[in-house]
Structure 1
Amino acid sequence: MADVVTSYVEGPVVVAIDGRTASGKTTFADELAHTLSATVTGVFRASLDDFKKPWRDRYLYDRASGEGYYRNAFDIERIRSDLVGGFRAGQTMLCSIDPITQIDHSAELIPMPDQAILVIDGVFALRPELRDLWDVGVWLDVDPQISELRATARDGEMLERYRLSEQLYLTEARPQQVADIIIDNDDISAPASSIWPHR
């Protein structure tokens, strides 16, 4: 993956890591960024979880159901304009609102070098409203039963909401069919060789 990303020789590069719940998106993105930073100056990390709408505004829209989480939780406009738009313009916001503390970091803008690489992880990254933003879109493919086992231990009572939102996403957006690269991540210690689908 690092070789694929560094094959882009001009301009800033944005890589998005998507996948099922508990597929290893954050870990994979962290390791990719770490590998890239060994040879590239200016590698940055961001997560779509840091670009959700403020929890205090949840009463304005449905965010509790699976469909509501998929359609309403993320601030699509801020992802487009302030995260990726800012990155390509040379100064970006790497975090809007911390999802745990709810502290607003939107005023913290980071200057970007011309040849910067931004690695983003996040569920629903390959949705239609965002997929044109990425130079490389990656889908981490895991068996649904493996995803369920990992997520049950991690997400507890929120799992049902995530499961329903994920099924809606898979049905509507078909991320496996639009990804540039698919990686079998059933074994997180040894991701299988990437596959380039025909698009």
Structure 2
Amino acid sequence: MAVTVPLFAGSVLIVDGVFAFRPEIDGYWDFRVWLHIDEELSVARGAARDRDWAGSDAESLHRDRYLAAERVYQREADPRSRADVVVDNSDFARPYLLTKD
């Protein structure tokens, strides 16, 4: 069951989503944060996370499907250049701000 909560002036709404910088929805955001992670680390994390339900196909699913889609998205939407802040999230315990190139 969905719960509706009213927002008031001064409220902050944080939206997390894959492909959130796509042109058709990018205009809705006031502030954009891009979480950077190396492709291989992304594949490894995703495979480890999804191994319970994807089994031995988890790594190929992340490499061949999700990583391929991410590369198309980055080429078409160029999210990093549109971000207000870029955070390196390679180490969960030590994220840090990157300078935008």
TM-score, shorter chain, exceeding 0.5 = yes
Report the counterpart of residue 53 of structure 2 in structure 1: none
TM-score (norm 1): 0.42
CA offset at residue 164 of structure 1?
2.0
Report the counterpart of residue 68 of structure 2 in structure 1: 164
Q: How many residue pairs get matched?
A: 92
Report the counterpart of residue 152 of structure 1 in structure 2: 47
- Asked if 1:139 is matched to 2:50, the reply is no
Q: After the TM superposition, which residues 92-107 of structure 1 pair with which residues of structure 2 at under 5 Å, given as runs? A: 105=2
Query: Aligned Cα RMSD in Å?
Result: 1.9
- What SS is found at the alignment partner of 1:139? strand
Q: After the TM superposition, which residues 12-31 of structure 1 pair with which residues of structure 2 at under 5 Å, given as runs? A: none
2:8 aligned partner, one-letter code: P
Contact 2:22–2:77 (Cα < 8 Å) also in 1: yes
- Asked if 1:183 is matched to 2:87, the reply is yes
Q: Note the alpha carbon deviations across 1:139-164, whole angstroms, 9 max, x for none.
A: 00111111111011123264232222
**Structure 1 unaligned runs (5+)?**
1-102
- What SS is found at the alignment partner of 1:115? coil
- Asked if 1:192 is matched to 2:96, the reply is yes
Counterparts of 2:42 and 2:21, CA distance in 1 = 18
1:181 aligned partner, one-letter code: V
Counterparts of 1:143 and 1:164, CA distance in 2 = 14
Report the counterpart of residue 17 of structure 2 in structure 1: 122
The alignment-based identity, stated in percent, is 37
TM-score (norm 2): 0.78
Q: After the TM superposition, which residues 27-46 of structure 1 pair with which residues of structure 2 at under 5 Å, given as runs? A: none
**Structure 1 residues 158-167 or 173-182, which shifts more?**
158-167
